[in-house]
Chains A and B, each alone.
Chain A
Amino acid sequence: MSDATVDPRFRRKPPKRPLRLSWADERIRGIVWQILVVGVVGTIFYWLWSNTAHNLEVRRIATGFGFLNREAGLPIAEHVISYEPTDTYLRALTVGVLNTLKVSIVGIVLATILGTTIGIARLSKNFLVSKIASFYVEVIRDLPLLLQLLFWYTVMQGLPGPRQAFHPTEGVFLSNRGLRFPALEWEGAHTAAVVAFIAGIVLTWLYGRSARAKQMADGQPRRVWPAAIALIAGLPVVVWLAMGAPWTIEWPALRGFNFRGGANVSPEFAALLIGLVTYTAGFIAEVVRAGILAVNQGQWEAAQALGLRHGSVLRLIVLPQALRVIIPPLTSNYLSLAKNSSLAVAIGYQDIVSIANTTLNQTGQAIEGIAIIMAVYLTISLSISLFMNWYNARIALVER
């Protein structure tokens, strides 16, 4: 049964004759090779490990993760969860992980939008549009990301100070301290509304599925959108109203040196985000372009011949096929965006690398610090890989 997963070209009948202790026997050769390679690799690792243990002892460097519960004492500018310098290293590192996730998720969404736009623009019939798009792709991809990040950070610093901030509309300030804008004072009712919104999406999906199943049964198309609007938009509003409809806006104002109140996008975050998004979009654009070009013109024609409308052709015929080409390289672009966010350390956005770096500097525990960085990124990478593999398997063409 397990044979089914093995590449068929390696599937051989097990030899009838018993193992012969001879170099001519393929299985013996295989076993010897494996012992050899594993032995060499194992020896190297043992050697490195014993050196390390010896060095740590001689240099009296502490080991273990005990430092995680010590007071960190390092200031962090941006934190999704509450944080004070008196908190532990563990909390500081958690804040770092959340900051990495924040910039990665926002970056992936924006880079997909921008990349798709540019990829389509490269196929535009308008000469200027396609030339600008290809110029953009060529230049962005040929410059090191680190250089681009440093450049964007320099640009951010060119904005005016808080007292001379751009003030386009009530409550919005753009200065070298970042972009300040009014924010909702968050209360329980808002959390409930968000939960209701997510529930609405799930219910819509379930409803859509059953509607499609019925259409398959009797051929009658059913409208999904009225229910969708009611569930996705109506449900959160009802919940919010039921909980007293709280609605207080926090307005930012210049007090002392800085703006207080409202929400803020810091220049470091903005520079990192812009750098990551513009850089990755250059790669995604190529992926999208290749995907669209990969769909045979005949598919369009055949779909139209079946009498499908333009939107349906796109949705049912072209996109699924283009996506199959697009998804694998898109995944690796998402992965590299997440990994590239580690360059934040160069421009002062406190992601996991920056905070782990400071931690290992203060505690002297280099091995633990770097192990934490690697573990975090491995987890992120594997999660994105697994999700995209699942999605890819779902939309893959079932062959033969």
Chain B
Amino acid sequence: MKHVLRRSMIRTLGAALIASTMALPAVAQQQPAAPAAATLDAIRARGTLICGVNTGLAGFAQPDSQGVWRGFDADYCRAVAAALFNDPNKVRYVPTTAQNRFTALQSGEVDMLARNTTWTLSRDTSLGFDFPAINFYDGQGFMVKTSLGVRTARELDGATICVQPGTTTEQNLTDWARANRVNFTPVVIERLEELVTAFVAGRCDAYTTDVSGLASTRSAQARPADYLILPDVISKEPLGPLVRHGDQRFSDLVRWIHFGLVAAEELGITAANVQQMAANDTRPEVQRMLGRNGDLGRMLAVDNAWLVNVIRAVGNYGEVFERNLTPIGIQRGPNAVWPTAGGLQFAPPFR
């Protein structure tokens, strides 16, 4: 009996060993990522774009009940895939935290980061990134409960303030507090939803982040009128996609996809009418943009109908904005298109 048991033990051990060696090649699926210079070729060879996004931020990037990534940033990933492959679904979304987002891009784990990241000098230079475009102008603000009776940020002396750690938000807050001689007690929680829950539960008197984030949180509440976004904006937060420094072709493509979306809104091109406009519109710039005239697409090393594909997939800038950000209560504000609506978003000439 004992002998049999002992033998069976050896067998169990052997079984485990062999099973594990068999599983090794299955798990160890390495993806040789490209060095910075050839991102575009690597994406093409792979057939999918790998896009780093937020782990879950309403309106910007968040999986829905069916597990499909939705949001403003996710649509930018989709737009790039549409331009490259004429298929907006050829995207692999990699959720990244505030902490590992930069390593992921640096190491080539993702091709681009569309993760509402602020453009700063040090990120542009010493971290080795490029910010092709600003797709969302934002600024840091404060939100309080209306019942608190606070009207401006300076009245927050002595308050408890909820803030996400390790972001520019946290540093802006301490800079601002020092400059204005405001004392505050911080509550720092890494995961955004935890932080918002803490604020709503009354753990903090004020919650600070980008105004867009505040608006999104406010609109999500059962009674938005209970919350007040203070008028003070304490920082500039130009948000946009970022890519590795060194591959200008890919960087150019991302930049002009953004400009194409903005120009499309300016010229009235929408997802619904883009096919028809590509065929019939007589304006020369529209003809150039949509690839009927000239070869702007080929200059970007993509199909000449690239912008048709992009707009058919996600719509123009206004449509992307309205689909994702308007429902969570964000106004166009500075992100309206210039010159038609007098905002900051404008596209250089397509020629």
Report yes or no: B158 in contact with A85, Cβ–Cβ below 8 A: no
Given A361-B98, A364-B126, also A258-B185 (CB < 8 A) = yes
Report yes or no: A357 in contact with B148, Cβ–Cβ below 8 A: no
Chain B, residue nearest A348 (CB): B189
* B94-109 interface code vs A (CB 8 A; 1 in, 0 out): 0000110011001000
Report yes or no: A77 in contact with B201, Cβ–Cβ below 8 A: no
Query: Measured between C-beta atoms, what is the minimum distance from B3 to chain A in Å?
Result: 24
Q: Check if A76 is an interface residue, CB within 8 A of chain B.
A: yes
The majority secondary structure among interface residues of chain B is mixed
- Size range of the interface on A? 35 or more
Q: Check if A347 is an interface residue, CB within 8 A of chain B.
A: yes
Number of interface residues of B (CB under 8 A): 41
Chain A, residue nearest B122 (CB): A364
Report yes or no: B187 in contact with A348, Cβ–Cβ below 8 A: yes
Chain B, residue nearest A350 (CB): B188
Q: Which of A60, A161, A357 contacts B166 (CB 8 A)?
A: A357
Report yes or no: A176 in contact with B158, Cβ–Cβ below 8 A: no
Report yes or no: B185 in contact with A176, Cβ–Cβ below 8 A: no
A398 to B160, CA, bound (A): 58
Query: Measured between C-beta atoms, what is the minimum distance from B260 to chain A in Å?
Result: 31
Chain A, residue nearest B126 (CB): A60
Given A75-B174, A154-B197, A364-B127, also A345-B190 (CB < 8 A) = yes
Q: Check if A286 is an interface residue, CB within 8 A of chain B.
A: no
Chain B, residue nearest A177 (CB): B160
| Residues on the A chain within 8 Å of B189, using CB | 347-348
Report yes or no: B158 in contact with A348, Cβ–Cβ below 8 A: no
Chain B, residue nearest A158 (CB): B201
* B114-132 interface code vs A (CB 8 A; 1 in, 0 out): 0000000000001110000
Q: Check if A372 is an interface residue, CB within 8 A of chain B.
A: no
Those of A250-292 within 8 Å (CB) of chain B: 255-258, 260, 267-268
| Residues on the B chain within 8 Å of A160, using CB | 202
Those of B148-193 within 8 Å (CB) of chain A: 148, 156-160, 163, 165-167, 170-171, 173-175, 177-178, 184-191
| Residues on the A chain within 8 Å of B301, using CB | none
Query: Measured between C-beta atoms, what is the minimum distance from A100 to chain B in Å?
Result: 15
| Residues on the A chain within 8 Å of B167, using CB | 361
Report yes or no: B178 in contact with A348, Cβ–Cβ below 8 A: no
A256 to B156, CA, bound (A): 9
Report yes or no: B194 in contact with A348, Cβ–Cβ below 8 A: yes
Report yes or no: B187 in contact with A268, Cβ–Cβ below 8 A: yes
Report yes or no: A258 in contact with B178, Cβ–Cβ below 8 A: no
Given A59-B106, A357-B165, A366-B103, also A257-B160 (CB < 8 A) = yes
Query: Measured between C-beta atoms, what is the minimum distance from B163 to chain A in Å?
Result: 7
Those of A172-213 within 8 Å (CB) of chain B: 176-177
A150 to B189, CA, bound (A): 12
Report yes or no: B166 in contact with A361, Cβ–Cβ below 8 A: yes
| Residues on the B chain within 8 Å of A77, using CB | 185-188
| Residues on the A chain within 8 Å of B159, using CB | 256-258
Q: Check if B203 is an interface residue, CB within 8 A of chain A.
A: yes
Q: Which of B126, B160, B174, B194 contacts A74 (CB 8 A)?
A: B174
Query: Measured between C-beta atoms, what is the minimum distance from B251 to chain A in Å?
Result: 17
Those of B195-213 within 8 Å (CB) of chain A: 195, 197-198, 201-203, 205
| Residues on the A chain within 8 Å of B126, using CB | 60, 62, 364
Report yes or no: B158 in contact with A157, Cβ–Cβ below 8 A: no
| Residues on the B chain within 8 Å of A73, using CB | 170-171, 174-175
Given A177-B203, A258-B159, A364-B102, also A346-B185 (CB < 8 A) = no
Report yes or no: B201 in contact with A157, Cβ–Cβ below 8 A: yes
Report yes or no: B158 in contact with A255, Cβ–Cβ below 8 A: yes
| Residues on the B chain within 8 Å of A321, using CB | none
Binding site for A on B (CB under 8 A): 98-99, 102-103, 106, 126-128, 148, 156-160, 163, 165-167, 170-171, 173-175, 177-178, 184-191, 194-195, 197-198, 201-203, 205
Binding site for B on A (CB under 8 A): 59-60, 62, 73-77, 85-86, 150, 153-154, 157-158, 160-161, 176-177, 255-258, 260, 267-268, 345-348, 350, 354, 357-358, 360-362, 364, 366
Q: List 11 A-B contacts (CB under 8 A).
A: A62-B126, A74-B170, A75-B170, A76-B186, A256-B158, A258-B160, A346-B190, A358-B166, A358-B188, A364-B126, A366-B103
Instruction: Known A-B contacts: A59-B106, A257-B156. Give 11 more (CB < 8 A).
Output: A73-B174, A75-B170, A75-B177, A76-B186, A77-B186, A256-B157, A258-B205, A345-B190, A346-B190, A346-B194, A357-B165
